[in-house]
Amino acid sequence: MARPRPATFDKLKTVAENRRARYDYFIDTTYEAGLALTGTEVKALRGGEGSIAESYAEVTNGEVWLVNANIPEFSHGNRFNHEPKRPRKLLLHEREINKLHGAVARDGMTLVPLSIYFNSRGRAKVELALAKGKKAHDKRETIKQRDWKREAGRIMRDRG
């Protein structure tokens, strides 16, 4: 019998975070996916370099690929250094891939990476979200709610 998965992901060291994703999208469900990386990519990530600000994931031929993620070349790499913006394969179970493919094809949802991190076992992982895009009025509503929460916290703090 398979061991149960933890409710939250085991993030030991966060390398890159897509902070704008929660502003631009309604996050539906999140998945933890492994990354198929080369040696110099892992070394660059361990050094804290990498960006997923404008990246996305796509399902092609039964595989999930992380597209447009920037992991800069490793500074001490030799001629076998990696290409910074190459598509990287994400490692997911087949059932999860089928679920993601169906949601993207049928419901018009998007696969957005939220963060790249190392777990407690030292493996590079991607927190991948199934998301739906927000319209301009939804973004304004999000800003209003965030400002109100900040103001309410300030009022409660001042009153004691």
Domain range summary for the chain, segments of one domain joined by +: 13-134
pLDDT at 134 over 90: no
With a pLDDT cut of 70, the percent of the chain lying above it is 95
Residue 4's pLDDT is 67
Residue 114's pLDDT is 94
What is the rounded average pLDDT of the residues 106-125? 91
Question: How far is 140 from 63, CA to CA, in rounded Å?
Answer: 36
Confidence of residue 2 (pLDDT cuts 50, 70, 90): low
In this structure, whether the domain defined by 13-134 belongs to CATH 1.20.58.2050 is answered with no
CA 69 to chain centre: 10
| Strands (E) located in the chain | 13-17, 25-35, 56-60, 63-67, 88-91, 110-118, 124-133
Q: And the tokens for 107?
A: 């419901």
DSSP per-residue codes, 7-35: SS---SEEEEE-TTHHHHEEEEEEEEEEE
Quick: pLDDT tens for 55-106: 999 999 999 999 999 888 888 877 878 888 899 999 999 999 999 999 999 8
Residue type, 152: A
